[in-house]
Amino acid sequence: MQERAALSPAQINGDLLHFALKTPRQFWIALGVLGAIVLAGVVSEGFIVVLGLQLLGLTNTVYWSVFIANFVFWVGISHAGVMISAILRLVYAEWRRPITRCAEVLTIFALATAGLFPLIHTGRVWRTIYWVFPYDFTRNVWPDVRSALIWDPSAIVTYLIGTILFVYSDLLPDLANARDRSAGFRRRVYAVLSLGFRGTVRQWRLQTIAGILLASLILPVFVSVHSIVSWDFSMAILPGWHSTIFAPYFVIGAIHSGVAGVVTVMVLVRRFLRLEDYIRPEHFDAVGRLQVVVAASWLFFFLMDFYFGIFSREAAEIEVWNLRLFTPPYSALLLVMIITGYLIPVPLWLFRRCRRSVRIMFWTSLAVNVALWIERYMLVITPLSYKEPFTFTWVTAYKPQPVEYIITAAAVALVLLGLLVFAKLFPIVPVWAVKEGQVLRREVRIGRVTVPAVAREKKY
Amino acid sequence: MAVVNTEALLGIFETPEQVAGALDRLRADGFLATDMTVLTDAPYPEGAFGEASERHRLYVWPFVGAACGLAVGLLLTIGTQISYPLVTGGKPILAIPPMINVLYEGTLLGALIMTVIGIIFESRLPDLSAAPYDPRISQGYFGVLVFRLAGRADMAQRALRRAGAIDVVGTLPSG
């Protein structure tokens, strides 16, 4: 079946630059709603700064709260963005074209949001300056590079800068295109940002190579980041955290939630920017197939974590799993996690009809992210909550407080707000890549059928 | 709005075949491969217009960046630890395994930054020249830009027109 419609360059420009160059009323409504939620989060953070961490539900053992779970969750979401984009570029997957930039931009805003949580978590945010500069300037006492808490920011800063550069270099031709289609102040801004890109043969040649080169460089960063985030936990000698499986387990969990996050953004972009001709059921079908594999791998690592936990027969480890499996509210959360992360979505994704249903893909992708948020919450909170032998450390269950709920919701709004503002300023679907797809598009007659094909320059 | 410039001419074409024909005519009239280039709104396979292969050194940039990033990483990890040599957890002052994490990230960050700088530099950006340009290029038309006219403007214009240019931008006022 021929799904790829033949689109003229003028039509592609009109469709993909429309939202960036014209402002519909819905944009201001969405901006207002998301902005209000973000503002509520900012006010809550203000209360924490002024009144202190007493506003959180921290106990004497649960000193890493839902904010750290949010940090891990958003780092995870950020992961699949660039992973999808980079891997699909490297394997020349033709269906990558409309979705790469959504994925990359999701990475930027999710990672930036994740980066806020360790700062919020400290309460006194100004003291986080000691992560970078000496604790004691006169004696030159620098942060200890032997600590996982130093590896973590180095990895996240690398990933964030790398992703921003990746997006910018890919955006240059589209900025030039927007420059050609705009006027006044907007045109001057696009002209400066596009650096005078004209679309010479040399510029396109380098643009094509750059996509491959940057993808190759950013993939090792992608793998390292969530591994290092996992070491924030596994380097601690704490039952439930001190596990050798954490690095791959975190990476595969990040891919599971990240791919689902990309699907959610694809649906939103398709629906609100009316890009049905560009983000088509075949794209959801392809991502759905990928999700089946990723979900199965994630379940495998979850079971391995459980198996490693109980196999050692250490009382403390078994106690943590006892807490997760049989003690409310964690047992109920675990059940929800398995159901929404695997048992509901995977059987649906096995059917082509479901994978091609935008509605089913949207709801299952949301369900996966509910599951993965719960997973992060369980990973952070339960090892800190288990009852140690000394009774004075026995505590009641950690309960998130209103400010924690508000800031968690504000983080979701902040990521969506970032995506919305980006889509308003720049094309969220790469115009030049879609046009390249049209240049290379062919129809091949085989026997009595005509099948869609793609010409490929096998050079790099 | 087309930019008027007397040092270069831009012919606007509708098909890649016309562009290839224009390059052939210009070469036949004595223009060198370095005197002309093709402008398009999307990448085309190399050689699609019969143009010369573009040489570049982009592959060198990541290696230079990686070396710089590694050097900065070494300076950071070694310098900060020996500036206040305090033994913690019984680990050596210069503990190699934890240093590798920071060195790894530093190396890749350097490579990424230098690659993007390399892309911009090798693409000859920012382009501040006043060479003619036409927004129709990004609307699907093709442009053939001819430089270094040096009194050969009429010859270039004729070649572009004969190859099927629907418009030639940057011509002298006298035509």
CATH number of domain containing B35: 3.30.70
Q: Is a pLDDT exceeding 50 seen at residue A1?
A: no
**Cα–Cα–Cα angle for A76, A166, A257, nearest 5°?**
15
Considering the domain boundaries, does residue B174 fall inside one? no
B107 and B139 fall within a common domain: no
Radius of gyration of chain B (CA): 25
Q: Does A31 touch chain B (CB under 8 A)?
A: no
- Axis-axis angle for helices A100-122, A246-272 (nearest 10): 120
Contact B42 A435 (CB under 8 A): yes
**Angle, CA of A251, A261 and A375, to the nearest 5°:** 50
Mean pLDDT on B4-26: 85
- Chain B residue numbers with beta carbons less than 8 Å from the beta carbon of A176 are 138
Q: How far apart are CA A140 and CA A32, in angstroms?
A: 47
Residue B31: closest CA among B144, B169, B168 = B144
CA distances from A128 to A125, A137, A156, B20 (A): 6, 15, 15, 60
Q: Where is average pLDDT lowest: A408-417, B3-12, B25-34, B123-132?
A: B3-12
Q: Are residues B80 and B108 in the same domain?
A: yes
Rounded to whole angstroms, how far apart are CA atoms B140 and A92? 23
Instruction: Give how many domains chain B has, as a whole number.
Output: 2
CB contact under 8 A, A142 and B37: no
Residues B90 and B143 in one domain: no
**Which residue in chain A is spatially nearest to B126 when comparing CA positions?**
A195
Cβ contact A392:A17 at 8 Å: no
Strand partners, B132: none
Q: Are residues B87 and B64 in the same domain?
A: yes
Q: Tell me: domain A9-454, CATH 1.20.1630.10, correct?
A: yes
Closest partner residue to B111 (CB to CB) among A145, A217, A439 is A217
Nearest-by-Cβ selection for B138 from A144, A177, A457: A177
Contacts of A457 in chain B (CB under 8 A): 45-46
Distance CA B65, CA A449 (A): 51
Containing structural domain, residue B95: 60-122
Q: Which residues of A touch B131 (CB under 8 A)?
A: 198
Q: Write the CA distances from A150 to A219, A247, A379, integer angstroms.
A: 21, 17, 21
Query: Is the per-residue pLDDT at A387 higher than 80?
Result: no
Closest CB to A439: pick one of B42, B49, B77: B42
ipTM value: 0.89
Are residues B97 and B76 part of one domain?
Answer: yes
pLDDT band at A359 (very low <50, low <70, confident <90, very high): very high
Q: Which of B38, B106, B126 sits opposite A196 (nearest CB)?
A: B126
Specify the pLDDT at position A238. 85
pLDDT, tens digit, 9 for 90 and up, residues B48-63: 888 888 888 999 999 9
* Cβ contact A234:A247 at 8 Å: yes
List CB contacts (< 8 A) between A439 and chain B. 42-44
- Ordered by start, the domain boundaries in chain A are 9-454
With cut-offs at 50, 70 and 90, classify the pLDDT of residue B6.
low
Q: Are A235 and A84 in contact (CB under 8 A)?
A: no
A173: closest chain B residue by CA? B41
Contact at 8 Å (CB) between A249 and A305?
A: yes
* B19/B65 same-domain check: no
Give the one of B84, B98, B131 whose C-beta lies nearest to A151's C-beta.
Answer: B98
CA angle A350, A355, A360 (to 5 degrees): 110
Residues of chain B found within 8 Å of residue A161, distances taken between Cβ atoms: 109, 112-113
Q: Which two tokens stand for residue A268?
A: 């939103």
- In a domain, residue B163? The reply is yes
CA distance B123 to B35: 16
**What pLDDT shows up at residue B3?**
42
Which residue is listed with tokens 């931009």? A105
Choose, out of B37, B84, B101, B113, the residue to mutate when testing the contact with A (most A CBs < 10 Å): B101
**pTM for the predicted model, two decimal places:** 0.90
What is residue B102's predicted lDDT score, i.e. its pLDDT?
92
Kindly indicate the confidence band of residue A111, based on its pLDDT and cuts at 50, 70 and 90.
very high
pLDDT tens for A125-174 read 887 777 777 777 777 788 888 888 889 889 999 999 999 999 999 999 99
The confidence band for B129, taking pLDDT boundaries of 50, 70 and 90, is confident
